Amino acid sequence: MFDQKKFKALLVMKGKTMQDIASLLNINQATLYRKINGSSDFFRKEIQAICEYLEIENPNDIFFA
């Protein structure tokens, strides 16, 4: 289960926005929100890209909480 609070807190700490993440993944913000809310799943390559971009060492805390 995706941990929305940790993800959003990490975005604030890193000074990034949801639009930054959507652009990184080459998707629109509505699609990103569906993924965050659990209506759609993140692909492995998307998780890897986000982890590299936000310097997340342990994706389990956010993506598989």
Question: Could you give the CA distance from residue 35 to residue 57 in angstroms, rounded to a whole number?
Answer: 21
> Please, are residues 50 and 56 in contact by the beta-carbon 8 Å criterion?
yes
Specify the length of the chain in residues: 65
pLDDT tens for residues 44-55? 999 999 999 999
> 27, 13 in Cβ contact below 8 A?
no
Q: What percent of the chain has pLDDT over 90?
A: 91
Per-domain residue ranges for the chain?
4-63
Nearest in space to 63 (alpha carbons), one of 55, 44, 28, 52: 44
CA separation for the pair 16, 42 (Å, rounded): 19
Q: Is the pLDDT of residue 43 over 90?
A: yes
Fold of 4-63: 434 Repressor (Amino-terminal Domain) (1.10.260)
Entry pTM:
0.90
